[in-house]
Amino acid sequence: MKKELFIERVLLFLALSSIGALVTITVFIFWEGIPLIASAGLKNFLLSSHWAPTRGHFGILAMIISSVFVTLGALILGVLLGLACAITLAEFAPERVKILLKPTLELLAGIPSVVYGFLGVVWLVPLIRDYLGGPGLSLLAGSVILGIMILPTVISISIDALSAVPDLYRDGSIALGATNWQTVHRVVLPAASSGIIPAIILGMGRAIGETMAVIMVAGNALKIPTSVLDPVRTLTANIALELGYASGRHREALFATGIVLFVIIMILNLTASAITRRR
Amino acid sequence: MSKTAEISPIALVQDSNGSVREIVADDPYAIGYISMGLVDSRVKAVSVDGVAPTRENIKNHEYKLVRRFLLVARELRPGPCRDFVNFVLSAKGQSLLESEGLVGVED
């Protein structure tokens, strides 16, 4: 009995320590970043696009907008391809194809982001520059690479959601004379939507937090983009590019950028879990 | 150029000399700055005011676009730190730098 209690305590401690890590990180980011937001003013920080940290200008609006657009672009591609792929695998593909394709798609998640970035620089960027114009390193390049990177997340969670829909629904719909496709998009998809929406939101969280691949293909210019061919700098890219040589207020400003990113991702995750729980 | 001038917000930024060189080598309209040691046959080093960036021109201060490389330490007491600085400044260290395409300190 004593032994059992002991093991229970150890497990509790281990469980708490992972939460402890999260709390430490949160406190640290806010501790480092809040002083700058307080002294520069929240409005000057969030609503100005003038970023010259060594001269006292800390506006990150351009980067917020860039992060949002790159993520939206990634979602358009990632969700369209991902959902199509998930529907095919869960509803139409024969068992043998499914067994082969699902692990292959999950392998996609194991490829390091540098590799995606490198492929982007070598193939995608020259294609965009030659056929569409601009410097090639662009919002479009970032979106396409991120869209591919979020595929595994979107696909595997969507497949789980689709498989969780009871066969009763499908049989009922077919019995009423609906075709396979009508069954999928009128009955199965709506029934699975509380699992598919979190899949999209988690993909979104992955896209907005991705750093390495984006630094390599997006160009990192500080302007607010006016076209998909413009180079952009995302919030994550800003932190990774400058933290190495930042000190004093500049460093604080990068932590403050981290706070903004943190808040955005928190909101996304909370939304995702709220939708899942509503089921 | 005035001291208050800022880097243009439309300028691309890369996180390493290597990727700047890749981009300039690939894009017919690009210009960028990297360390002289990394200039290779795919990119051209630009002359400034008609002065080419050769070793001689850099050593005799003819070429103006030069950035010095700094060694930093909190204090230079005898020990591995001092030994390293001495090595870099020694004939062997300097010839290694030169063989990497960098320009040694002038004497």
Asked if A144 has any chain B CB less than 8 Å from its own CB, the reply is: no
Task: Report if residue A36 sits inside a domain.
Answer: no
What are the backbone angles phi and psi of residue B62, rounded to the nearest 5°? -75, -40
Tell if the pTM clears 0.90, that is, is over it.
Answer: no
pLDDT tens digit string along B63-72?
Answer: 888 888 888 8
Judged by CB atoms closer than 8 Å, whether chains meet at A219 and B12 is answered as yes
Number of separate domains in chain A: 1
Q: What CATH number should be reported for the domain holding residue A176?
A: 1.10.3720.10
Q: Pick from B1, B14, B3, B13: which is nearest to A51 by CA?
A: B13
Task: Report if residue A38 sits inside a domain.
Answer: no
Q: What is the mean pLDDT of chain A?
A: 92
Asked if A136 has any chain B CB less than 8 Å from its own CB, the reply is: yes
* Structure tokens, A106: 């999950």
Give the model's pLDDT for residue B2.
Answer: 62
**Nearest residue on chain A to B9, judged by CA atoms?**
A222
Domains of chain B are 1-67 (3.40.190.10), 68-107 (no CATH)
Judged by CB atoms closer than 8 Å, whether chains meet at A52 and B6 is answered as yes
Concatenate the DSSP letters of all residues of chain A into one string. -HHHHHHHHHHHHHHHHHHHHHHHHHHHHHHHHHHHHHHH-HHHHHS---EEGGGTEE--HHHHHHHHHHHHHHHHHHHHHHHHHHHIIIIIS-HHHHHHHHHHHHHGGGS-HHHHHHHIIIIIHHHHHHHT-S-S-SHHHHHHHHHHHTHHHHHHHHHHHHHTS-HHHHHHHHHTT--HHHIIIIIIHHHHHHHHHHHHHHHHHHHHH--HHHHHHHB---SPPSSTTS-B--HHHHHHHHGGG--THHHHHHHHHHHHHHHHHHHHHHHHHHHHHH-
Task: Report if residue A33 sits inside a domain.
Answer: no
Give CA–CA dist A237/B97, Å, rounded.
Answer: 32
**Is there a contact between A138 and A230 (Cβ–Cβ < 8 Å)?**
yes
**Run of H or E including B87:** helix B80-89
ipTM: 0.77
| Per-position pLDDT tens, chain A of length 279 | 688 899 999 999 999 999 999 999 999 999 999 999 999 889 999 999 899 988 888 999 999 999 999 999 999 999 999 999 999 999 888 989 988 988 888 888 889 999 999 999 989 999 999 999 888 899 999 999 999 999 999 999 999 999 999 999 999 999 999 999 999 989 999 999 988 998 999 899 999 999 999 999 999 999 999 999 999 999 999 999 999 888 889 999 999 999 999 999 999 888 888 887 875
Q: Nearest by CB to B13, which of A49, A136, A233?
A: A233
Interface probe for A, chosen from B12, B16, B72 (most Cβ of A below 10 Å), is B12
Give CA–CA dist B97/B106, Å, rounded.
Answer: 13
**Smallest Cα distance from B67 to chain A, Å:** 16
Owning domain of residue A145? 51-278
Task: Report if residue A268 sits inside a domain.
Answer: yes
Give CA–CA dist B24/B21, Å, rounded.
Answer: 5
Task: Report if residue A189 sits inside a domain.
Answer: yes
